[in-house]
Structure 1
Amino acid sequence: MGVRAAYWEQVRASGFRLPHDRPLDDLTAELVHMLGDVDPKVRDGIAYPVLAAWISEGVYDDLLAGFGDGVSEGLFNGLGEDGTDSVLRRSFSALLLAESVLRDQVARAVHSDAIFRWGDRAASWFVRERDLRGYVEGRGWAHAVAHGADLIAALARSEHFGKLELTVLLDVIADRLLTPTTHRLLHGEDDRLAFAVMTVLHRNRLGIDVLEPWVERLAASLVPPVVDEGTTAPAWPTPVAGNTAGFLRGLHLQLALGVRGQQTPQDVTLFGKPPQVRADLLLVLLRVLRAGQPAIFSTPSR
């Protein structure tokens, strides 16, 4: 990066203070471009933390709707590619859009239409993302699934979202898990997805009548397919089955132990009590987890 690196290193060393020697638009455009840099020191060490700090400090409050719209365009940069560097821009755009949603919870800076628009774009990207790599040698973290889960968790916190929108977020997570892939989630993505669901549950807008069929839909992927005699069975578990099983186990554990969010007043309140559906949903999860591994888990006696 040369001169540019030295400039941004000074900004970081200053505690992320906003420079006044260049227009904010120019600074922002440069940082957003850097979100897709192949060097993790640039992308993860400068661009994201600087922009996240400025969002949380209210630098963009009067511009937040336009800022979020611009960032969300990065979700579609090279979408459909797998194994290329384009995933970096998509993934870190998701993480930055999550920061924008969380800022609105504090500043009430945007109209609900903007949050709905960001949610639509997030959902469209997340279910279509094909590059599910976690850590990439020489590039650092790609982590599109984890960052997408963080974005969904941010949207689930938004008071602009009611029962309908929260139900859609659950369906987006299910679609993501059930979409055929060759990637196994090996870097904590299942826990991040489970936490996103926990955030939805803590809103206390969805009952077991919605949640049970949603779990059953996921559980169907845990059952090996029946193949005709003479037909070679696919390797089992498939990546989809393995990823979904890990997610359901993670969700069960988080629901059993409880979770905490960020130490903000909003999250302290949101996660202060267990979800109202906790007991009923635990029973559903126990049932499908037992059924998914009948050779391991005992069946409770009547």
Structure 2
Amino acid sequence: MHATGLAVPSDRPLDDLTAELTRMLGDPDPALRDGTAYPALTTWVERGVYDDLLSGLGDGMAMGLLVGLGERGTDTVFRRSFSALVLGECIARDNTRPLLPGGKILEWGDRLTTWLLRERDLRGWVRGNGWAHAVSHGADTLAILARSPHLATPELTVLLDVIADRLLLPVDRLFSNGEPDRLAFATMAVLRRNVVPLRVLEPWVARIAAGAGTRSTYDDRDPYLAGGNAEAFLRALYLQLSLGSRPPQLRSDLLLVVVDALKSTNHGYLVTTGE
């Protein structure tokens, strides 16, 4: 396919090609999954190949989010994670060229967020199999969803709550492959819509900060597992708010809120003591 510029092969029905590529999205071989299936499907969506079939393709990707859900350390994570990415491309196509009713986008959003909160395989890079990256891929699709004109203040507020919920869920390992940065990027996509007020954002940040300041008290458990993901997210959000392009209208006010949160969770590093 790459040799032909990812053109749609003319010797097979599109339905058969789509079924094969969808199966390959879950293949543990990164050359098939990440190197063939994902770029082919996303390129065809972007080129409008699926414009008349976009609803069905997105529904198929949403079903892929359920394959093996709840498992940890198995190959099913690839199907879920890469289905999320292709679902994001379907939403992005509708963002660019309205093709679907708002109800369908909201349905996909509900299925995406439900999956993201139930996902238990938090691996990033898997030796021999490449990227799993379920949380990052979910965050990338949240960012696309946040740009949909079908989402208004209530739905965007829900996306923020989902991000907070994901950060505060109990974990056995901290995010280590850029997931907090990707979740912060999704947050920025919500903020750039400029429709979520500060009175909503302040308690949202406070909730994450409260989690970031929590340490586990169990002797057999890393105490930083309780709040480490939330803390990393606050730092990533501060960085993107401070240095990112196209700042949201509330940037100045929200930066003060985030700075106060970081001061509360990093107090020991910010006070001057006698040395």
Asked if the contact 2:216/2:222 (under 8 Å) is kept, the reply is no
Match for residue 23 of structure 1? 13
Match for residue 33 of structure 1? 23
Inter-partner Cα distance in structure 2 for 1:22 and 1:127:
38
User: What is the percent sequence identity of the aligned residues?
Assistant: 55
CA-CA distance at 1:191 after TM superposition: 0.7
Match for residue 247 of structure 2? 274
Q: How does 1:236-247 map to 2 (within 5 A)?
A: 236-238=223-225, 240-247=226-233
Q: How does 1:206-245 map to 2 (within 5 A)?
A: 206-224=196-214, 232=219, 234-238=221-225, 240-245=226-231
Asked if the contact 1:249/1:289 (under 8 Å) is kept, the reply is yes
Match for residue 259 of structure 2? 286
Match for residue 205 of structure 1? 195
Inter-partner Cα distance in structure 1 for 2:178 and 2:169:
18
Q: How does 1:7-156 map to 2 (within 5 A)?
A: 11-156=1-146
SS in 2 for 1:71: helix
Inter-partner Cα distance in structure 1 for 2:219 and 2:87:
44
Match for residue 8 of structure 1? none
Q: Over residues 58-115 of structure 1, what are the superposed CA-to-partner deviations in whole Å (9 max), with x where a residue is unaligned?
A: 0001111111011110001000001111100000000111111101111211111110
CA-CA distance at 1:233 after TM superposition: 8.4
SS in 2 for 1:172: helix
162, 184, 188: which is aligned to 2:152? Answer: 162
Match for residue 241 of structure 2? 255
Inter-partner Cα distance in structure 2 for 1:29 and 1:234:
44
Equivalent residue pairs, number: 272
Query: Normalising to structure 1: TM-score of the pair?
Result: 0.87
Inter-partner Cα distance in structure 2 for 1:237 and 1:160:
38
Judge which range, 289-298 or 45-54, deviates more: 289-298
Inter-partner Cα distance in structure 1 for 2:115 and 2:58:
15
Q: Over residues 116-153 of structure 1, what are the superposed CA-to-partner deviations in whole Å (9 max), with x where a residue is unaligned?
A: 11001001100000001000011100000110000100
Task: List runs of 5+ in structure 2 lacking aligned partners.
Answer: none
Query: Normalising to structure 2: TM-score of the pair?
Result: 0.96
Inter-partner Cα distance in structure 1 for 2:91 and 2:258:
30
1:226/1:189 Cα in 2 relative to 1: closer, same or farther (>3 Å)? Answer: closer
1:41/1:225 Cα in 2 relative to 1: closer, same or farther (>3 Å)? Answer: closer
CA-CA distance at 1:226 after TM superposition: 8.8
1:232/1:51 Cα in 2 relative to 1: closer, same or farther (>3 Å)? Answer: closer
Match for residue 296 of structure 1? 269
Q: Over residues 176-220 of structure 1, what are the superposed CA-to-partner deviations in whole Å (9 max), with x where a residue is unaligned?
A: 111101121111111111000000000001011000101111111
Inter-partner Cα distance in structure 2 for 1:190 and 1:68:
26
Task: List runs of 5+ in structure 1 lacking aligned partners.
Answer: 1-10, 260-272
Inter-partner Cα distance in structure 2 for 1:297 and 1:88:
42
Counterpart amino acid of 2:108?
W
Match for residue 177 of structure 2? 187
165, 172, 190: which is aligned to 1:175? Answer: 165
Inter-partner Cα distance in structure 1 for 2:67 and 2:17:
20
1:234/1:33 Cα in 2 relative to 1: closer, same or farther (>3 Å)? Answer: closer
Inter-partner Cα distance in structure 1 for 2:105 and 2:96:
14
Asked if the contact 1:134/1:186 (under 8 Å) is kept, the reply is yes
1:297/1:39 Cα in 2 relative to 1: closer, same or farther (>3 Å)? Answer: same
